[in-house]
Amino acid sequence: MPVNLHALAEHHIPQVLEACHDWEELAQHGPPYWRPRSSAELRRKIVDAAGPQLAQAYSFVLADDSQLVGETSIHAIDWRNRVAQVGICIWRPEDRRRGYGRAGAEAAISWALDELGLLRLEAWILATNKASQELFAGLDFAYEGTLAGRYQHGGVRHDVVVYGLTR
């Protein structure tokens, strides 16, 4: 299934808010960096990445031929050390396991390494999210450790595993 990566833009906002209305379902899979609660929050992300200075985060939407299916981001950018985190989220359960996550992650990773010149990327993933762990391991990220109790959801602390890729 082909997927296109687009920088988050004003015209995406209504579709994003509609697709992400069920944050309880999404939150069980991990701590999304990008948790839009309002159109104002999404507009702030667009402005923050508009330049001319380098941003601390870049957000992209993933689109197939008919709709937006998810997002990916390069965030928590440490320009001094040329390190950042990469995240991927496919919003609807019916769109998962169809190749969108891999295609979106590959595009974001290539952009971060080639266009931004980053030298290291990290993926922070819930320890129970085996699909995301398999995805990043398949993209040559190596398991580096576990952050005990790093994520809280539903009043319960959850471990987060860290995968890293160094150029």
Please check whether residue 127 is in contact with residue 118, taking contact to mean a CB–CB distance below 8 angstroms. Answer: no
Lowest mean pLDDT of 26-35, 124-133, 158-167, name the range. Answer: 26-35
Nearest to 67 by CA among 45, 48, 87, 94: 94
* pLDDT surpasses 60 at 34: no
Whether 59 and 8 have beta carbons less than 8 Å apart is answered as yes
For range 6-34, the mean pLDDT: 75
pTM listed for this prediction: 0.88
How far is 103 from 109, CA to CA, in rounded Å? 10
Q: pLDDT value at position 42?
A: 85
For 42-54, write each residue's pLDDT tens digit: 888 888 888 788 8
pLDDT of amino acid 151: 87
To the question of domain 4-120 being in CATH 3.40.50.300, the answer is no
Residues 99-121: tens digit of each pLDDT: 999 999 999 999 999 999 999 99
Which helix H or strand E contains 163, and what residues bound it? strand 156-166
Which tokens go with 165? 């890729």
Residue 66 has pLDDT above 90, yes or no: no
Every domain of the chain and the residues it spans: 4-120
E-strand stretches of 82-155: 83-90, 120-126, 142-153
What single-letter DSSP state applies at residue 11? G
The full length of the chain comes to: 167
Q: Which residues pair with 71 in a beta bridge?
A: 61, 89
